[in-house]
Every structure is written in C-alpha cells, then in structure tokens.
C-alpha cells in the first residue's frame, strides 16, 4: 500500500483542540491574562468574569447550577476528589464504598487508598459484555454504604452502564452516586437533572478542549453533598479546590462542550456508521476477530477488538502509521494486560491480542478504509508467520 499521513484513531486517549476552542482561549493567554482571584483591578475582574461565564455554560449543558461546578486539573483529580472527598467526609457514619472492576485507574486507585485507611471496598464484577448486574448492586448496598462509583462509558471497550437506574437505586438507599463521565460527556446526552448523580467527573481534553482542565459536578441541593478537599491554600473554588484557576483552559473547556453538544446527534450517527463499517470489514475478511463489550450499548466511535492468533504488541508496532492503542493511555506504562478485558473473562494472551480504535471528529470514511486494509494485511502476515 502506498504511504500516506498517519491516521489518528485514538480519540479515547485524547482529542485535538478544535480551532473554535483555540480562538476562544487565546485572548486569555495574552490581553486578558489576569488572575481570576485578583479582585482589585480590571485584569482580575475580566478573568473572573470569563470563569463565571464558563461555569454557567457548563452548568447549563449539564442541567446543573453554576455553584455546583468546580474546576480541577482533569478527570483524574475530579475522580480523586469525589471518591476520597465524599468517603472521608462521611466516614463516621458510613465506611463502605462500591465500584466496578472495569473502572479507570483514577477510580480504582483512590478506592485502594480508602481500603488502606480502613474502608471496606466492594469491586462489582461485570458480565462478558462489560455490564454490571443491578440486582447484585442492590444486594451489596447496606446501612454502612457511603458511595457507589460507576463510570458512564468505559474508556477501553466503550460500554455504557445503566447510570440512570444506578442513580435511582442509590437515591432510594440513601447512598451517594459518583460517575466518571470523561468519555461520555459531549458524546451522549448527559444531564444531572435526568441522571440524578451526586458527583460527576469531566475532562477537557476528551471533548476537543485543552489538556490540564476538568470539572467536578457536586450536588448542592436535595441533598447538599459535603466533600473533604484534597488541596489546601487560598480557598479557591469555595474552599474545595485551592489553586490559581487556569482561565484560558476553563474558557476552552466550556467552548469545547458547547461545540460537541451542538453537533452531538449528527456526529454520533456518523461515528456509529464508521465504527460499524470498520467492524464489518475486519470481520468480513479475517477470521477470529471478536468485538469486546456490548454490541449496542457502547460509545458511537469505539471499536475494541481481539485478533486471535496474533501478538498484540507486535501488531501494534507494525501499525505505526495508525494511532491506535492496546488499552487505557493512563496505564500504558504498565506491562500488565488490560484489567478491563480480564474482567470480561479474557485470558492474558487474548487481552494482549486486543486493540482499541477510537474514532472521532477528524475520522473520515477514507481513513477507515485505509486502516482496515492495513490491519487486515498485518494480521494475515503475522498469522502466516506463525505468530505468536
């Protein structure tokens, strides 16, 4: 095949900043560069006004109130603040936390930290398609249960958990519900006035916004959620998250979410069609190609596949002209196979033979055709050579 530009199919890892988002950010790096906490001059006033406007836009997009949006450095910090902050704030009365075996490390690791602090943590299993059993969750919840954390959309296999039903169940039992929505926001309808989550984590760079900024929705009414802060000094964000606010990034995140929501329905339909075409092409020309996760309840642009009879690391290296991944970018430094695929029942060999394709705004039908052809050729070459 003739050489061509590298194709980016790793949109679950990160996304390029949209031109409109960059344009919105630039003035706050240059002319309006003030500190939003500087209350004695116009530079600070303009910065503070930009933050207030961004907070209002995010709140409107989520069906929340502006005073329920708190800015962080990203979804990892938001998840840590939600889980550690909520559990520690209520530990005198409740000391049991529930999460899922397929969660992101930024959820699993704080839960492990809580175990070291004396909390009881339950890891819910998933079925072979990545979904939890709601009846099992209901059976686990008790008087000591403080928090349930279940991600809206899985970052590796794209599976959508039934977060509305989970939220309703938690509310019935008087248990707080947190959801890592970093992958779902901007790709699916997501409003806290419909999904009654108490805590919701967001990330800027997953929605064509800048890296280094995120947000945490914290319910402030019926009930008012209390969190213990992780960072101290300055009392920013109502004392919940101290630190000078990155005004350009905050402005960019709000602009990015607005842009995603404006084209959500059409883009979801387009990506779903491309993903289905990629899957059909690969399964039509290769045997032993299995889709990981639920076939329908998944992110529109997610295709996670296991290729039997190949070495996943070698396959990934051979496809240097296509940006894809073998799992979460946040755990790529780990030599271990995907914990998500292991939770689905995959052997280590099959987990290592799996690749994640993340389609996004810049993905075209021509990109999918090229990528499919390259994958087909490389898988056939490895199988012919007797790999692994």
The domain of 354 spans 7-16+263-384
332 pLDDT higher than 50 = no
Report the distance separating Cα 210 and Cα 310, nearest Å.
36
Work out the number of other CB atoms within 10 angstroms of the CB of residue 189. 11
Note whether 226 and 305 are same-domain residues.
no
CA trace torsion 355, 359, 246, 61 (10° rounding): -130
Give the percent of the chain with pLDDT over 70: 96
Q: Which of 111, 170, 260, 330 is catalytic?
A: 330
Q: Is residue 185 domain-shared with residue 333, that is, in the same domain?
A: no
Q: How large is the greatest C-alpha to C-alpha distance in the chain, in angstroms?
A: 71
Using left for φ > 0, alpha for ψ between -120 and 50, and beta otherwise, residue 174 falls in: left
pLDDT mean across residues, the chain: 94
Distance of CA 230 to the CA centre of its chain: 21
Single residue among 235, 262, 289 that ends a domain in this structure: 262
Shared domain check, 215 and 314: no
Q: Catalytic: 330?
A: yes
Say if residue 330's pLDDT is above 70.
no
Instruction: Give yes or no: residues 157 and 33 share one domain.
Output: yes
Q: Are residues 209 and 311 in the same domain?
A: no
The residue-averaged pLDDT of 227-235 equals 91
C-alpha to C-alpha distance for 387 and 264, rounded to whole angstroms: 41
Looking at 262, 293, 326, the residue that finishes a domain is 262
Mean per-residue pLDDT, 96-119 = 98
Is 48 part of a structural domain of the chain? yes
Single pTM value for the model: 0.94
Q: Is residue 2 one of the residues assigned to a domain?
A: no
Contact 105, 330 (CB under 8 A): yes
CATH number at residue 52: 3.40.640.10
The per-residue DSSP string of 12-24 comes to TT--PPPHHHHHH
- Looking at the 3D structure of the chain, how many domains does it have? 2
Q: Which of 246, 248, 228, 244 lies closest to 236 in space, CA to CA? A: 244
Whole-number Å distance between alpha carbons of 203 and 214: 4
Q: Give the pLDDT band of residue 331 (cuts 50, 70, 90).
A: very low
- Same domain assignment for residues 98 and 245: yes
């Amino acid at each position: 095949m003739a050489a061509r530009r590298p194709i980016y199919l790793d949109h679950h890892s990160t996304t390029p900043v949209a031109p409109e988002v960059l344009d919105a950010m630039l003035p706050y790096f240059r002319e309006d560069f003030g500190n939003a906490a500087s209350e004695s001059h116009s530079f600070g006033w303009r910065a503070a006004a930009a933050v207030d406007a961004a907070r209002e836009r995010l709140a409107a997009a989520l069906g929340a109130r502006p005073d329920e949006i708190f800015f962080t450095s990203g979804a990892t910090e938001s998840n840590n603040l939600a889980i550690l902050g909520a559990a520690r704030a209520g530990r005198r009365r409740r000391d049991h936390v529930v999460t899922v075996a397929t969660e992101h490390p930024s959820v699993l690791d704080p839960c492990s930290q809580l175990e070291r602090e004396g909390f009881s943590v339950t890891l819910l299993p998933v079925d072979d398609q990545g979904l939890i059993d709601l009846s099992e969750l209901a059976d686990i919840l008790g008087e000591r249960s403080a928090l349930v954390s279940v991600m809206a959309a899985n970052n590796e296999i794209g599976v959508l958990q039934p977060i509305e039903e989970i939220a309703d169940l938690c509310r019935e039992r008087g248990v707080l519900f947190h959801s890592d929505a970093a992958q779902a926001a901007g790709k699916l309808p997501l409003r806290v006035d419909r999904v009654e989550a108490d805590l919701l984590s967001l990330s800027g760079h997953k929605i064509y916004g800048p890296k280094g900024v995120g947000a945490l929705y914290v319910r402030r009414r019926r009930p008012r959620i209390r969190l213990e802060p992780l960072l101290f000094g300055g009392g920013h964000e109502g004392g919940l998250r101290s630190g000078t606010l990155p005004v350009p990034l905050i402005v960019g995140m709000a602009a990015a979410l607005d842009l995603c929501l404006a084209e959500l329905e059409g883009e979801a339909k387009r990506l779903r069609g491309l993903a289905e075409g990629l899957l059909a092409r690969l399964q039509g020309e290769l045997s032993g190609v299995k889709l990981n996760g639920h076939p329908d309840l998944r992110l529109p642009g997610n295709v996670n596949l296991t290729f039997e009879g190949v070495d996943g690391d070698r396959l990934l290296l051979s496809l240097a002209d296509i940006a894809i991944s073998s799992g979460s970018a946040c755990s790529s430094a780990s030599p271990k196979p995907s914990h998500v695929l292991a939770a689905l029942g995959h052997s280590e060999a099959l987990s290592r033979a799996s690749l994640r394709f993340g389609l996004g705004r810049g993905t075209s039908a021509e990109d999918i055709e090229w990528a499919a052809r390259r994958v087909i050729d490389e898988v056939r070459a490895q199988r012919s050579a007797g790999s692994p």
